[in-house]
Structure 1
Amino acid sequence: MSDKLQKILAQVGLGSRREMERWIEQGRIQLNGETAKLGERATATDEIKVDGKVIEHAVKTARRVLAYNKPEGEVCTRNDPEGRPTVFQNLPKLKGERWIAVGRLDINTAGLLLFTTDGELANKLMHPSTQTVDREYAVRVAGEVTPEIIENLKKGVVLEDGMAKFTDVQFFDGDGYNQWYHVCIMEGRNREVRRLWESQELKVSRLKRVRYGCVFLPKQISVGKWKELDQRDTDELAKLVDLPSVPVAKLDPQEMKKYERELNRQKTRQKAAPKNKGPKRKVRIDS
């Protein structure tokens, strides 16, 4: 079975299909030793290179999605030049695949971070043009939040990279100087939630993502722990971005025991310790 090059490259997590089309037009893609052309197709046995590097693109028969409760102090890169702990260090190991982060959270933001082995699903969930996937955050704000401020944040504020707004702002808890709010936003621009509050001369003292699309961060997943979504929950997430159902990976008994041992070994922590240098259905993940 063959697929268009841009689809294959998107599925392995290199970017959106449209972006992959641009790469092909720019001559960055080679197919079996020749510069690829837009419209060409490939099979699992064809050699594909991007900028001279061979890309593993064997046909995947299963999709995996993982929910991770990120602590403050971790960065969302695979390798950090400063030696800080990364979110990828705490994920289950894969053979022949890799975890792709669905968006990112900055080092001082905690909460729900999704990972998947399906690059196309990841790209569609993150893409700015996708208007069916919102994000919900719990935010502790230092300062007086007036009705006028709430209205401003919902109408829209011009930031340095363009207009931004919350689709919803709800008071949650607290009194006095520090109060908790829940906010919803359709985008994932860098520090967008913090910058929106800062535009109103208010400081965010705590920030935690509690929902991504239809997936809520369940209370039973402690900080620093993860859990995989089952078939139903994975299908609901894919349905948000008009992708078909794909079987979720099923582990054999031996793999399941290894998986459970690894899950039990995960360390619960409120904040990641610095790494030492040197040697609309609301899906809830059932335990």
Structure 2
Amino acid sequence: MPAPVDAPGERLQKILAEQGLGSRREIEAWIRIGRVRVNGQVAKLGDRITPLDRVRVDGQEIRRRPRREEDTQIIAYHKPEGEMVTRRDPEGRPTVFRHLPRPKTGRWIAVGRLDINTSGLILFTTDGELANRLMHPSRELEREYAVRILGQVPDGTLDRLTSGIALEDGPAHFDAVSARGGTGANTWYHVVLKEGRNREVRRLWEAADCQVSRLIRVRYGNVELGRRLFPGNWRPLLDDERKLLLSLAGMESQPHKPRLRSAAARAWQGGR
């Protein structure tokens, strides 16, 4: 049986996330539908495990590996419009995973999502605990979007968007809105917010009677999309980007022997 709640050990979903099986949210869903067993028993949310417990997912035993910061892979991907942020789409539409490299260990976990009509930056990592922290509202990581609005924006709209507008799932607001120019019926704005509710940027503008004609995520935390990362392409994070992102997630790099950066990272930095 799994270790009781007051026993030593760590939460089951946290351990499985650290092994790169998925985000905490994904793994919690697996537990709810009975895909996870501990010592032969169907697991429950809230279960804690120790290194002595045997865990299986879909019948396959999970062998725990010690978590090492240097093993965590993180990449930035420029999602084009028309791609789905899912591993398999029942309608056969293209997904973001078809363009990603094969990870050294584990599998890629998307840090948040973008809808099919939104393009721009998505981070991927092989560490589910890191993905969970980067997405969790308590971290208040900024997401910045470039937004093209069709038509004129009424006076007072920017103040409404930053002070707060009632949506069907509760009040929401942008932390910052700035005009970025444009001509004719199309004007560009940059907006910043610290949460990732479903289609929140579009819904806020629509609630302010404005029509979004294009939406691009240009920054997540300290990582920027940049001009050199073209749609459908990925890049590894630079060393400084990686270090700061881990710090923002509360997973600061632990001191370890210096190591050479990957060839991909060196090539990217050299071509900047």
Please say whether Structure 1 and Structure 2 have the same fold, judged by a TM-score greater than 0.5. yes
Mapped contact 1:64–1:117 kept (Cα < 8 A): yes
Per-residue CA shift, 1:166-209, capped at 9, x if unaligned? Answer: 00000001133210000001111111111111111111001000
Deviates more, 1:88-97 or 1:200-209: 88-97
Mapped contact 1:69–1:110 kept (Cα < 8 A): yes
Match of 2:175 among 164, 167, 180: 167
* C-alpha distance 285-83 of structure 1, shift in aligned 2 (>3 A): farther
Residue 267 of structure 1: aligned partner:
none
Per-residue CA shift, 1:45-89, capped at 9, x if unaligned? Answer: x53124655446433431111001111110000111111110000
* C-alpha distance 29-82 of structure 1, shift in aligned 2 (>3 A): closer
Residue 38 of structure 2: aligned partner:
31
2:182 and 2:205 map into 1 onto residues whose CA distance is 17
Between the aligned residues of both structures, percent identity stands at: 47
Query: Partner amino acid for 2:56?
Result: K
Residue 104 of structure 1: aligned partner:
113
Mapped contact 1:13–1:123 kept (Cα < 8 A): no
* C-alpha distance 170-65 of structure 1, shift in aligned 2 (>3 A): same
Residue 8 of structure 1: aligned partner:
15
Q: Which runs of 5+ in 1 are unaligned?
A: 265-283
Query: Partner amino acid for 1:63?
Result: T
1:14 and 1:98 map into 2 onto residues whose CA distance is 8
* C-alpha distance 31-42 of structure 1, shift in aligned 2 (>3 A): farther
Mapped contact 1:13–1:122 kept (Cα < 8 A): no
TM-score normalised by the chain length of structure 2: 0.81
Mapped contact 1:49–1:55 kept (Cα < 8 A): yes
Residue 5 of structure 2: aligned partner:
none
2:40 and 2:79 map into 1 onto residues whose CA distance is 42
* C-alpha distance 41-108 of structure 1, shift in aligned 2 (>3 A): same
1:125 and 1:23 map into 2 onto residues whose CA distance is 22
Match of 1:120 among 108, 129, 134: 129
Give the number of the structure with larger relative contact order, counting CA–CA contacts within 8 Å between residues 6 or more apart. 1
Match of 1:88 among 93, 97, 103: 97
Residue 67 of structure 1: aligned partner:
76
How many pairs align? Answer: 256
Query: Partner amino acid for 1:69?
Result: H
Mapped contact 2:9–2:48 kept (Cα < 8 A): no
CA RMSD for the aligned pairs? 3.4
Match of 1:129 among 131, 138, 142: 138
Per-residue CA shift, 1:6-54, capped at 9, x if unaligned? Answer: 331232354449x85x959x987533324568443126xx531246554
Match of 1:235 among 210, 221, 243: 243
* C-alpha distance 13-153 of structure 1, shift in aligned 2 (>3 A): farther
TM-score normalised by the chain length of structure 1: 0.77
Q: Which runs of 5+ in 2 are unaligned?
A: 1-7
Mapped contact 2:134–2:249 kept (Cα < 8 A): yes
1:109 and 1:71 map into 2 onto residues whose CA distance is 7
Mapped contact 1:10–1:119 kept (Cα < 8 A): yes
Query: Partner amino acid for 1:237?
Result: L
1:229 and 1:194 map into 2 onto residues whose CA distance is 28
1:48 and 2:55 correspond: yes
